[in-house]
Amino acid sequence: MVEKYADHKEVLNMANFALPLLEDNEELRHQRAVLLYHKAWLEMVLRAEEEGKKFVYNQFNLYTDLFYAFDLVPIPPEIWSLTKVTLRDGYGMCETIDAAHEAGIHPELCSAHKSAIGDQLLGNRIPPPAMIVNPSFPCDNTKVAYQVLAEVTGAPMLVMDCPYFGPDTDEKVAMDYWVQRVKELIRFLEEHTGQKLDPDRLKEVIEEANRAIEYVLEYESFRQLKPLPQPGVALGSAMGGFTMSGLPEYTELMKTLRDDIKDRVDKGKTAVPEEKLRLNWFYLHAFYDGGVYGWLETKGVVSPVAFHGYDVLEPIDTSTTESTIRGLAKKLLGFPMGRQGTGSSHIYIGDCIDATQRWQCDAVILSGHAGCKYIRGLIGLLRDELRKIGVPMLVFDMDTFDPRVAPPSQYYPIIEEFVDICVDKKEEGIALV
């Protein structure tokens, strides 16, 4: 029998090995903060099982604040599986993806969900849930996969029905409906934990999350500066919103990232010596390939914003329990990907254009994850709108979690050709589209 959580213990050992090496490296201070955060989450999960705490599987588009108010330990199954993706030279999720295939799971399902299902089927890969919560956004993959997870684990599941948002939506009516779904979630948690929601504890958790939001927004405003002060990919609320939002560890992460980029601005530091091109990665990059941003930076190409760093957060009014719940409901609709999957393509297109303009990007990259069907239908519409503002877009096919679909050696030349053309045109003063 496989040792319990062997992959994640290996990830934890790697973190413990790497952290002392980053201790005094000012240039990698932001990376150390992220590593400390991942270590804290993994340790919390492993400790929680020893203490007999209850786990809730929260679909990764759900911020965790409410679950911590009930003293639950949230685990988004997709993110738990993703944590091991860099093991075995980037093939860390392939064993569990293949286990799902062998069990008859359809190959077109998102590989993150297939891996999460494989974790369950192989056993001893992930702590079992006491309950499962799945909103109806962002895509059909989640609706299918979470039914399987509920069937395999036997855990009770709540599906939160999200109203459709579009140009003709009565947003007040839609939001009122959604607030009722959040209250339904509270009743579900009360039923399966055997405890009533403590308004004071909820307020405490939300106010902790509010402190993190302030750091998130300030951090992202610094990344809008030109030239970009900090190298690497943008890390917004999605960095930890689905694992530890509402806990001091997440607040500390965002404070450290804010402090680091602010310090770099004060010292006049930049991501690259000469900034030639700014890219908006407005979809998921290949998580098994952590080197793509560094490779582009050697060419003077920076990435000030990415899909998972685009936030529409605002602090929640905690003056009453009702205002807290309503503010939380609004926050739950703002998670990157979840927000863009709540209705009309206008949301994704508008957000992409907003990110491109606010972060002063020259071009957009849409790495087309094989599992995300809901994006495919709007690519032509998005390209047309970007052309109106003079911004070119690159689309290429890959799988965010499975390198066998499109290894870096296959898509690096595609990216390189695109950015080289954009840089040449920009230097010659020619319109990019």
Is residue 413 reached through a cis peptide bond, with omega within 30 degrees of 0 on the bond before it? no
Positions in the chain short of pLDDT 50: none
| Cα distances (angstroms) measured from residue 28 to each of 41, 79, 89, 137, 309 | 20, 24, 22, 35, 19
Write the pLDDT tens digit of every residue in 143-186: 999 999 999 999 999 999 999 999 999 999 999 999 999 999 99
Q: What distance in Å separates the CA atoms of residue 91 and residue 331, rounded to the nearest whole number?
A: 34
Confidence at residue 237, expressed as pLDDT on a 0 to 100 scale: 66
CA angle (177 as vertex; 176, 180 as ends), nearest 5? 90
Write the pLDDT tens digit of every residue in 86-95: 999 999 999 9
Q: Which of 155, 92, 90 is nearest to 120 (CA)?
A: 155
Model confidence, pTM: 0.94
Do 355 and 282 meet the contact criterion of CB atoms below 8 Å apart? yes
| Amino acid at site 73 | V
Confidence at residue 24, expressed as pLDDT on a 0 to 100 scale: 87
Confidence at residue 236, expressed as pLDDT on a 0 to 100 scale: 65
Indicate the Cα dihedral angle 43, 49, 51, 54, nearest 10°: 120
Do 359 and 305 meet the contact criterion of CB atoms below 8 Å apart? yes
How far out from the chain centre does Cα 29 lie? 21
Confidence at residue 1, expressed as pLDDT on a 0 to 100 scale: 58
Confidence at residue 372, expressed as pLDDT on a 0 to 100 scale: 84
| Amino acid at site 311 | D
Nearby residues of 87 by Cβ (< 8 Å), 6 or more positions away: 7, 10, 11
Q: Beta 277-281 vs 157-160: how paired, if at all?
A: unpaired
Is residue 229 reached through a cis peptide bond, with omega within 30 degrees of 0 on the bond before it? no
Nearby residues of 314 by Cβ (< 8 Å), 6 or more positions away: 213
Residue 22: Cβ within 10 Å count: 17
